[in-house]
Structure 1
Amino acid sequence: MVGTKSDVGRTTLPRRQLGRALRDARQANGYTLEQVAEVLEISRSALGRLELGQNEKIKVRDIEFICEYYGLPEERTEYLKSLVVHSGTKVWWQDYRSLIRPGFNTYLQLEAAATELHFFQSLVIPGLLQTADYARNVEAYPPTSTMDEIERRVALRVKRSTILTRRHRPMRAEFLLHEAVLRTVVGSARIMARQHHHIADLSAQENVSIRVVPFTAGFPAGSAIPPYIIIDFLHNEPSVVYTEGAVGTMIFEEDDDVARFRDIFEAVRGAALQEQPSRDLLRTMARRYEQ
């Protein structure tokens, strides 16, 4: 588990993936950090930083040497070497970095590299589903924000959402939305009506599943559940879980933690309305907001 109240400025997603892969390979061989550091003639702290994704300057030949020592197959070695090359690549949201709240930069990297996203949300409509008007009201905090800052943050949200509608390999995403999210008025009834129509329209796409968890479902997982996102990747990279709150973010990476979140998700999914009834409810609520 990784916790942060600010961006993990010393790491990028490719470095995190590389570090975890090297740690898993070392542990699979039964080696300690000290043993590997001694054989490879590097410091234990340097190897530890590499496994945490905190080394900003990584040489491809060093990764090749480590992979050879761990006995990794050529295909796996080539993939890990490619992560070194991509670790310094500029990301599309870099121009918005001054507006991104602490911790969210890490999530954007995870989202950009994902193959599937699984959301449970009980507080606010997820950013990928938000209309510009809804996002504009959400982004009005803090009160000191200028109109230009708000509009740029809204633009970031709108641009992010195109991963669901792009022509080439649109993101597969599953959303479980608690009914409370849909009934919490943000901005005005007019904004909520358009927001609900927008969600209903998106739910008709093959790559998007949106289901409503009704009030009548109670607590299907046995207790109240905070919002979270399960993020899956290519190349058999381990899935992670991202959560956030008012004071910081948490990323769960351990297999047992991710498995527990999946179990919770399954329980909530089992209590949710099916896709068509959820879509019907969204359109019904939209009409009521219009009145």
Structure 2
Amino acid sequence: MVTDVEAATPALCRLQLGSELRQLRLTAGLKGAQVVKRLIWSPSKLTRLETGENSAVDTADVMALCEIYGADPETRARLQGYAAVTRTKKDWWLSPEYRPVIRPGFKAYLDLEATASSAQTYQSEFVPGLLQTEAYVHALYQPNPGLSAEGIDRLVAIRTTRQEVLSRPKSPLKFTAIINESVLRRQVGEPSVMRDQLAHIVAVMEARPNVRVQVVPFRAGVHAGMSGSFFVLQFPERTALKPMVYMENLTDAVVKRSDSDVERYTDAFSELQALAPGPQESLSMIKEASKEH
């Protein structure tokens, strides 16, 4: 659990609050349907509270749940503190400037990324967001007719601001990325954009010990990541948050929390790590690919 609630980020408070509320319900032996019936809530309201999806949480809702679950005074005070933080502070990605271009599913991912202690990702089609250059992001979104120039600029700003988790003063995110060789070969934008992008990956790898990149070469054949890209996120022990998996596509984004799903994707990532050459050989592959653009 979080001991210094006032210093915690709103994202952490939302996630921690949801996790503790769910555990209280399970300990009380209650199903979600029983709870919402007693409070005359919609099922989705309780689900959103327990998964930390609400940007701001009403302290009255938290107290109503604590009453049903028989929470002790200390727990009630802590949970009320979490809720208060979500109402008095805002994470940067919830500002009016960014809200129009952030889908709900991606907002959920930003909550997780900002709170996580480590993130592992397999990417089959493009450079992971935490390693993208501004020019690469522009080139990725340029063909999208539904985005204005202003919208693309906002997405670029979101990408670059996200990358600060790699250099935060306290406990920078431990980031491990495995990318398909096609990511290196596919030209996004002008050749100069790709050269600069690959050089940026090399620079980050060499400068930051908390960042590790491996490349799955074409010669590796069939592998565990062929069903699509994914993230596995783990959190600081003090939060008691379990690891989660995040995936997205053109129309949707999914956060998977069940132990079986997380184990399956964690195993898949371990298989990919074992299959891909180590960081030094992968670094050579990235440098070689840069010369070809």
TM-score (normalised: structure 2)? 0.81
36 and 98 in structure 1: CA distance in 2 versus 1, 3 angstrom threshold? closer
Equivalent position to 2:252, from 239, 245, 248? 248
Moved more, 140-149 or 90-99: 140-149
| Unmatched 5+ stretches in structure 2 | 1-9
The answer to whether 1:45 aligns with 2:53 is no
Q: Which residue of 1 aligns with 2:90?
A: 90
CA contact (8 A) 1:119 1:228 kept: yes
State the Cα deviation string for residues 215-254 of structure 1 (Å, max 9, x = none). 1222232x72211111122212012111000111111111
104 and 282 in structure 1: CA distance in 2 versus 1, 3 angstrom threshold? same
Equivalent position to 2:212, from 209, 213, 223? 209
Q: Which residue of 2 aligns with 1:260?
A: 264
- State the Cα RMSD in Å: 3.0
CA contact (8 A) 2:214 2:282 kept: yes
Distance 2:68 2:76 in 1: 6
CA contact (8 A) 1:64 1:81 kept: no
Report the Cα offset of residue 35 of structure 1.
Answer: 6.7
SS of the residue 1:242 aligns to = strand
Equivalent position to 2:289, from 276, 285, 291? 285
Distance 1:118 1:190 in 2: 28
CA contact (8 A) 1:33 1:44 kept: no
SS of the residue 1:261 aligns to = helix
Report the Cα offset of residue 162 of structure 1.
Answer: 2.1
Q: Which residue of 2 aligns with 1:156?
A: 158
Q: Which residue of 2 aligns with 1:26?
A: 25
126 and 61 in structure 1: CA distance in 2 versus 1, 3 angstrom threshold? closer
Moved more, 165-174 or 118-127: 165-174
Distance 2:64 2:86 in 1: 13
Identity of aligned residues (%): 30
SS of the residue 1:52 aligns to = helix
| Unmatched 5+ stretches in structure 1 | 1-10
The answer to whether 1:113 aligns with 2:112 is no
64 and 43 in structure 1: CA distance in 2 versus 1, 3 angstrom threshold? closer
CA contact (8 A) 1:33 1:48 kept: no
Paired residue type of 2:214: R
Distance 2:101 2:42 in 1: 32
Distance 2:29 2:154 in 1: 49
CA contact (8 A) 1:164 1:207 kept: yes
CA contact (8 A) 2:62 2:79 kept: no
SS of the residue 1:120 aligns to = strand
Q: Which residue of 1 aligns with 2:230?
A: 228
Distance 1:174 1:79 in 2: 33
Distance 1:96 1:170 in 2: 24
CA contact (8 A) 2:124 2:182 kept: yes
CA contact (8 A) 1:115 1:233 kept: yes
Moved more, 78-87 or 110-119: 78-87
